C-alpha cells in the first residue's frame, strides 16, 4: 500500500507536490469547500484509516502525524480493534488525545533527534547486555505536562497525586527513578509545578492555588 499525503489546494504543502510524487507518495487533493478555506482532509483521513482496518487486517500499528485532538475518537476506535496507535504530539496537544494512544512522538524530541549529529559507531561488547535507553524528561517538560493537565481540567480541580504520577510515567518512562532530581513526586509537584499538595483523608491531592482577584 503506497503512503499518501493529503494536500489542500492553495496550501503551502502544494508547493511540494512534485517532491512527494518523485518519492513515491500518493498525493490526494482535498480542495477547499468553503470561502474560509475549510477542507475535508480530516474526514478523508478518518475514512481511509477505518477502511484500512477492514481491508488490511494484518496492519497492527497506526501512526497519526497530527496533533489535533479531533482524532481522539479515531484513536479510541483503533484500540477497540486491538491496533497499536502512535500520535504526533505538540506542546498544546490535549491530555485526552495523549491518553488515548499507546505512545506519542513528542514534537520537541522529534526536532531534537532530527538536529542531532549521527554518533560515531562504537564496537559492541557482547557481555554488556542490552542498551538502556534513557528517557528525555526534564523539569521544564514535566512542568509543561502538568500545566497542560490542569489547563484542560475544571477550575479548582484536585488531582490524585498517583494519577499525576502515572500520567508522567506514561509520557516519560523511567522518570520515577529520580523524579528529575527531586526527592519525591510530591516535592516535584510543589517546587517545580507550583502546586498545593496535601493529604486529604486517605488520599494525597494536588491542585493549583487560585490567584487572588
Full set of structural domains in the chain with CATH:
4-115 (3.40.50.1010), 134-207 (3.30.420)
Indicate the range of 7-21, 110-124, 161-175 predicted with least confidence.
110-124
Q: What's the confidence (pLDDT) of residue 25?
A: 84
Question: Per residue in 66-95, is it b (16+ CB within 10 Å) or e — as a string?
Answer: bbebebbebbebbeeeebebbbbbeeebbb
Residue 186 in this model has a pLDDT that exceeds 70? yes
Residue 171 in this model has a pLDDT that exceeds 60? yes
**Predicted confidence (pLDDT) per residue in 37-77, tens digit:** 788 888 888 999 999 999 999 999 999 988 888 999 999 99
Of 56, 50, 54, 3, residue with least CA distance to 25: 3
Q: What's the confidence (pLDDT) of residue 75?
A: 94
Cell numbers linked to 92: 498544546
What's the mean pLDDT in 153-163? 86
What's the mean pLDDT in 1-15? 53
Q: What's the confidence (pLDDT) of residue 59?
A: 92
Q: What's the confidence (pLDDT) of residue 192?
A: 92
Cα–Cα distance, 14 to 29 (Å, whole number): 9
Residue 111 in this model has a pLDDT that exceeds 80? no
Q: What's the confidence (pLDDT) of residue 33?
A: 84
- For residue 87, the surrounding DSSP H or E stretch is strand 84-89
Q: What's the confidence (pLDDT) of residue 15?
A: 73
Residue 90 in this model has a pLDDT that exceeds 60? yes
**Mean pLDDT estimate for the chain:** 80
Residue 188 in this model has a pLDDT that exceeds 70? yes
Give the residue, 19 or 73, on which the prediction is more confident. Answer: 73
What's the mean pLDDT in 84-89? 89
- Asked if residue 79 lies in contact with residue 85, where contact means CB atoms within 8 angstroms, the answer is yes
Amino acid at each position: 500500500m503506497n503512503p499518501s499525503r493529503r494536500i489542500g489546494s492553495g496550501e503551502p504543502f502544494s508547493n511540494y507536490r512534485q517532491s512527494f510524487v518523485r518519492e513515491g507518495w500518493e498525493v490526494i487533493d482535498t480542495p477547499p469547500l468553503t470561502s474560509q478555506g475549510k477542507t475535508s482532509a480530516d474526514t478523508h483521513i478518518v475514512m481511509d484509516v477505518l477502511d484500512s482496518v477492514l481491508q488490511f487486517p494484518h496492519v497492527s500499528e497506526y501512526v497519526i502525524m497530527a496533533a489535533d485532538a479531533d482524532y481522539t475518537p479515531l484513536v479510541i476506535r483503533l484500540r477497540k480493534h486491538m491496533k497499536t496507535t502512535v500520535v504526533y504530539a505538540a506542546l498544546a496537544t490535549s491530555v485526552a488525545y495523549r491518553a488515548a494512544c499507546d505512545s506519542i512522538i513528542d514534537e520537541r524530541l522529534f526536532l531534537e533527534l532530527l538536529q542531532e549529529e549521527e554518533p560515531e559507531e562504537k564496537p559492541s561488547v557482547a557481555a554488556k547486555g542490552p542498551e538502556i535507553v534513557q528517557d528525555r524528561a526534564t523539569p521544564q517538560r514535566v512542568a509543561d505536562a502538568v500545566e497542560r493537565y490542569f489547563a484542560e481540567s475544571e477550575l479548582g480541580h484536585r488531582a490524585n497525586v498517583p494519577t499525576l504520577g502515572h500520567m508522567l510515567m506514561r509520557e516519560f518512562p523511567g522518570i520515577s527513578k529520580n523524579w528529575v532530581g527531586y526527592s519525591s513526586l510530591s516535592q516535584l509537584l510543589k517546587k517545580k509545578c507550583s502546586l498545593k499538595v496535601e493529604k486529604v483523608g486517605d488520599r494525597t491531592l494536588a491542585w493549583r492555588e487560585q490567584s487572588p482577584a
